[in-house]
């Protein structure tokens, strides 16, 4: 075995270059950029959303649009209420995929534009506002699961289609002549309200699942969708959007619109300055470097500081327990008790009594001295410390003067 010579230099941390310090953040940024590029490439084909007749995804409706086109029905996709109201003229079918996204002003304008024209309005999952506008007297019932259901009504389109995938919201109405189809619990999930004198009826669908690409070819979904949406030569497919300017109230402005333009530039500059300051003041990431303490605090000062803190907090219970625990830990090996049993009264007390007939001080029991309750005041705490110190000194002195047995030679 060899030992290091005194001249052997002590290894100390070395400074790393700028590249080594910034390698971790740069790798994380590169990984983020690569992940974004991969996700963008994977989603590049998803140009449209749910129930969009241009989407070929599982929840799109391109298959239905092609089926309608093969039967001579043209489909016009609109995304604003103004476009929908202008396109839904006479002899047209208006499909609203999400009526609950429309404001009351949009619903009223759309109903006014279509109320006096012939055709059909199909609403998917309408809520109370849309029902009050387009189907007065109809109440929405709690939704049910989506499953293949029987028509159970006299509507010719439903009877010809047969079983279809329906469910979701249910509706209740007392309107005479209404067709209540595909019921669940006695409430229909497809409700057709008769046309008024203008000849425009209203169809309520509890769920859109039968219009999806993935479900269109199953059961009678294609037949039912074709008959509901293809009764007129022109179909207006309205996809409500939050970006529709008419969806915002005229008297409501966003937070940034309320900020003057000069303050916006000032806020941007302050943000940029704060980021630069954070980067400038940010500490270098790296391993911890051990350093020597500038000042060595003596153990006596540390002990005195702890004692003053206990005194200020009035923590005599905590202080007495620390004193007793330390005394038991030191006394145990002197009396032949293993350290693991130093704080067990049934083991430590008999060993102490074998070395000390009577504890120092009058009227004090060993159990109360080593395992007793907390002192009542500071004076009693000082007295306890003196007794523990005297007990330990007595045991040490007896150990020194105890005769030692020599083994037989």
Residue 5's pLDDT is 43
Phi, psi (deg, nearest 5) at residue 226: -65, -40
- β pairing state of 200-205 and 119-124: parallel
Query: pTM above 0.95?
Result: no
| Phi-psi category of residue 365: left, alpha or beta, with phi > 0 → left and psi -120 to 50 → alpha | beta
Residue 171's pLDDT is 92
Rg (CA), the chain: 43
Cα gap 203→225, rounded to integer Å: 12
Please enumerate in sequence order all residues whose Cβ is within 8 A of that of 46, keeping only pairs 6 or more positions apart, or say none.
55, 57
CA distances from 342 to 339, 348, 367 (A): 5, 6, 13
Residue 47's pLDDT is 62
User: pLDDT by residue (tens digit) across 303-339?
Assistant: 788 888 888 888 888 888 988 899 899 988 888 889 8
Q: Which long-range contacts (CB under 8 A, 24 or more apart) does 188-195 make?
A: 188/153, 189/144, 189/149, 190/153, 190/155, 190/158, 190/166, 191/135, 191/138, 192/155, 193/135, 193/138, 195/118
Cα gap 359→120, rounded to integer Å: 104
Residue 160's pLDDT is 92
Alpha-helix runs per DSSP H in 182-315: 221-229, 255-258, 261-281, 299-313
Cα gap 285→22, rounded to integer Å: 9
- β pairing state of 138-149 and 234-238: unpaired
User: For the chain, which ranges sit under pLDDT 50?
Assistant: 1-15, 45-46, 250-251, 362, 407, 409
User: pLDDT by residue (tens digit) across 27-67?
Assistant: 778 887 887 777 666 555 446 778 888 888 888 889 999 99
Find, among 209, 206, 227, 228, the residue nearest to 218 by Cα.
Answer: 209
Contact 52, 239 (CB under 8 A): yes
Length of the chain equals 409
Residue ranges and CATH numbers for the domains of the chain are 61-243 (3.40.50), 310-401 (no CATH)
């Amino acid at each position: 075995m060899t030992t290091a010579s005194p001249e052997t230099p002590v290894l100390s941390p070395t400074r790393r270059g700028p590249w080594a310090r910034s390698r971790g953040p740069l790798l994380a940024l590169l990984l983020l950029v690569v992940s974004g590029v991969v996700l963008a490439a994977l989603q590049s084909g998803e140009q449209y959303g749910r129930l969009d007749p241009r989407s070929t995804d599982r929840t799109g409706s391109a298959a239905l649009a092609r089926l309608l086109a093969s039967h001579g029905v043209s489909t016009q996709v609109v995304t604003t209420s103004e476009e929908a109201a202008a396109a839904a003229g006479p002899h047209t079918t208006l499909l609203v995929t999400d009526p609950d996204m429309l404001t009351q002003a949009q619903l009223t304008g759309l109903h006014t534009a279509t109320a006096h024209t012939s055709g059909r309005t199909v609403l998917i999952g309408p809520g109370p506002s849309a029902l009050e506008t387009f189907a007065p007297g109809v109440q929405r019932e709690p939704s049910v699961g989506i499953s293949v259901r029987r028509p159970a009504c006299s509507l010719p389109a439903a009877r010809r289609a047969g079983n279809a995938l329906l469910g979701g919201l249910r509706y209740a109405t007392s309107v005479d002549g209404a067709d209540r189809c595909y019921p669940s619990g006695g409430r229909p999930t497809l409700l057709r309200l008769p046309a008024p004198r203008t000849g425009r009826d209203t169809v309520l669908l509890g769920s859109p699942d039968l219009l999806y690409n993935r479900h269109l070819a199953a059961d009678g979904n294609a037949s039912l969708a074709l008959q509901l949406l293809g009764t007129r030569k022109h179909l207006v497919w309205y996809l409500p959007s939050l970006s529709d300017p008419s969806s915002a109230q005229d008297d409501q402005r966003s937070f940034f619109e309320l900020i003057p333009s000069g303050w916006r530039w000032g806020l941007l500059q302050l943000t940029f300055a704060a980021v630069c300051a954070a980067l400038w003041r940010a500490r270098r990431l790296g391993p911890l470097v051990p350093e020597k303490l500038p000042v060595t605090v003596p153990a006596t000062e540390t002990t005195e500081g702890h004692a003053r803190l206990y005194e200020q907090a009035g923590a005599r219970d905590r202080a007495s327990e620390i004193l007793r625990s330390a005394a038991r830990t030191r006394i145990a090996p002197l009396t032949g008790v293993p350290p693991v049993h130093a704080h067990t009264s049934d083991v430590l007390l008999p060993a102490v009594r074998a070395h000390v007939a009577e504890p120092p001080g009058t009227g004090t029991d060993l159990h109360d001295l080593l395992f007793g309750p907390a002192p009542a005041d500071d004076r009693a705490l000082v007295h306890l410390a003196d007794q523990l110190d005297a007990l330990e000194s007595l045991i040490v002195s007896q150990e020194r003067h105890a005769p030692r047995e020599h083994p037989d030679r």
